[in-house]
Amino acid sequence: SSVDARPAPVISVIGTGYLGATHAAAMAEMGLDTIGVDVDPAKLAALSAGEVPFYEPGLPELITKHVATGKLRFTADIAEAVGAADVHFVCVGTPQKAGSHAANLSYVESATRGVAEHLTHPGLIVGKSTVPVGTAERLRGIVREFTPSGIEAELVWNPEFLREGKAVDDTLHPDRLVWGGASAAADAVIREVYAAPIAEGTPVITTDLATAELVKVSANAFLATKISFINAISEMCAITGADVTTLADALGHDARIGRKFLNAGLGFGGGCLPKDIRALMHRANELGAGRVVGLMQQVDEINMGQRERVIDMTIESLGGSVLNRRVAVIGAAFKPLTDDVRDSPALNVAAALHLRGAQVTLWDPEANETARRSFPTLSYATSKEDAIEGADVVLVLTEWDDIIGADPVALGELAGRRTVIDARNCLPVADWVKAGWTVRSLGRPTPV
């Protein structure tokens, strides 16, 4: 039919950070011509050379592949990209505003305006950034104001659920696709863009703008709540001698609960959950939804309190002071399989101990460099052995396989004192105890 003969839509992706770079590569992999746009020339140069400026498994390969096939290119010229494309994905950041819990929406506003004012033919603007409910409706005003007269533009919201560390697979094979506010024509275009995952049977939920925005924020709020829930219970376990890991395993067998996001430990961090629950608190307060405010405040407080618990446990294990004591920290990333240290509990604890006068030596298999950039005064080791050599206490703050699978006997020979704080409840405790280590955890009894 004539519909099938239409050329496939060309894609522009505005903002090529974690989300945008992954989304652009995935669009190319789904067979669509894709242009990535960013305001950071260094990022664009790296991406054009097939280099990803952050650690994300599989992403450099995918970008290199499609830069070579010509399906994917990067430019700083938004006018050129928007002029060449039909569907424009807004993937810029929405970080926490300085001095407030609110999200900083200046990047989504300027990116949306940038697309609108450079439209030369009908365009579909698809917001993917995580935004407070009501944002998309306001952005529609910007689109109306800045789109050249006579040109049709539509804005819809299509939140993204990818996980850092599994971003490529999550984007190519999402659990579900959600978009809101689309006209029938826009809906058809989005289905064409996502033809590959839809053909695989990915569930599609289409809804209004507000629901689409809130789905994403609620998903992150729920995940954060699940982690803070088990961390609250871990406090009861610590007091009573119960074992929070066994408890979580038992809870997890209930299909209504599920085992994922039920690991007690140092808590959540990163560029998404903390800022998203705070933006939700702020927006809920504006809207008069007091129960959401209270719930999210508790979730945040429990989460931040875990960092205090680990700091206190470290001080206590060193007899009351960390001053001039050697602390080996394993892990800086906010979770394994990423080099992201944004709001990382691990780096936060390492920094806090450093500020109390401890000699902190940190090692992370991927995040040493990103950590060094945000906290240059810590010592960075070249290996876990190097970090642990002569240490008075070892802190496991990110659950990397490198430390889970390490030989506690060999590490024990290097350490000054065989005390380890397993702040992620991730170590095979019996093996470490057998190797002469004292193991302390959050809500798991200390074996003797």
Catalytic residues: 272
Contact 313, 244 (CB under 8 A): no
CB nearer ligand NAD, residue 20 or residue 197:
20
Helix count and strand count (H, E) for the chain:
20, 14
Q: Is 94 in the site for ligand NAD (CB under 6 A)?
A: yes
Residue nearest to ligand NAD as judged by C-beta position: 17
Nearer to ligand NAD, 219 or 304 (CB): 219
Q: Tell me the two tokens of residue 255.
A: 């299909």
143 to 162: interface string for ligand NAD, x by CB under 6 A: -----------------x-x
User: Which candidate, 24, 343, 274, 269, places its Cα nearest to that of 130?
Assistant: 274
Examine residue 55 and tell whether it contacts ligand NAD (CB under 6 A). no
Task: Determine if 165 is a binding residue for ligand NAD (CB under 6 A).
Answer: no
3-state DSSP helix/strand/coil % of the chain, to nearest 5: 45, 15, 40
Q: How far is the CB of 278 from ligand NAD (least distance, A)?
A: 12
Q: Scanning residues 269 to 288, which ones bind ligand NAD (CB under 6 A)?
A: 271-272
Assess 368 for contact with ligand NAD (CB under 6 A): no
Distance in Å, CB of 396 to ligand NAD, minimum: 24
Instruction: Decide: 439 and 431 in contact? Cβ < 8 Å.
Output: no
- Which pair of tokens denotes residue 226? 């699940």
The site that binds ligand NAD (CB under 6 A) totals a number of residues, namely 27
Residues 6+ apart with CB under 8 A from 168: 22, 25, 26, 56, 57, 58, 59, 62
- What residues from 97 to 126 belong to the interface with ligand NAD (CB under 6 A)? 107, 110-111, 114
Site of tokens 């407080």 = 301
Q: Please identify which residue in 129, 158, 370, 419 interacts with ligand NAD, judged by CB under 6 A.
A: 129
Residues ≥6 apart with Cβ < 8 Å to 100: 282
List, in sequence order, the alpha helices (H) in 288-391.
Answer: 290-317, 345-355, 368-374, 384-388
Residues in contact with ligand NAD, shown as a per-residue x/- string from 324 to 363 under the rule CB under 6 A? ----------------------------------------
**Please, what is the minimum distance in Å from the beta carbon of residue 39 to ligand NAD?**
4
CA Rg, the chain, in Å? Answer: 24
CB of 245 to ligand NAD, least distance (A): 26
- What is the footprint of ligand NAD within residues 4-43 (CB under 6 A)? 14-20, 37-40, 43
Q: 124 or 353: whose CB is closer to ligand NAD? A: 124
Residue 353 to residue 318: CA distance in whole angstroms: 12
Specify the residue for token string 């006209």: 183
| Residues in contact with 314: Cβ distance below 8 Å, sequence separation at least 6, in sequence order | 322, 327, 349, 353, 358, 393, 395, 421
Contacts of 439 (CB under 8 A, 6+ apart): 420, 422, 427, 429, 432, 433, 446, 447
How far apart are alpha carbons 214 and 225 in whole angstroms? Answer: 16
Residue 61 dihedral angles phi and psi, to the nearest 5°: -60, -45
Q: Does 96 bind ligand NAD (CB under 6 A)?
A: no
Question: Taking the complex as a whole, how short is the minimal distance between the CB of residue 170 and ligand NAD, in angstroms?
Answer: 9
* HSE value, Cβ hemisphere, 13 Å, CA-based, for 116: 21
User: Looking at beta carbons only, is 92 or 330 nearer to ligand NAD?
Assistant: 92
Nearest distance from C-beta of residue 20 to ligand NAD, angstroms: 6
Q: Which is nearer to ligand NAD, 161 or 242 (CB)?
A: 161
Q: Site for ligand NAD (CB under 6 A): which residue of 25, 32, 92, 442?
A: 92
Contact residue for ligand NAD among 29, 154, 164, 300 (CB under 6 A)? 164
Residue ranges in contact with ligand NAD by CB under 6 A: 14-20, 37-40, 43, 91-94, 107, 110-111, 114, 129-130, 160, 162, 164, 271-272
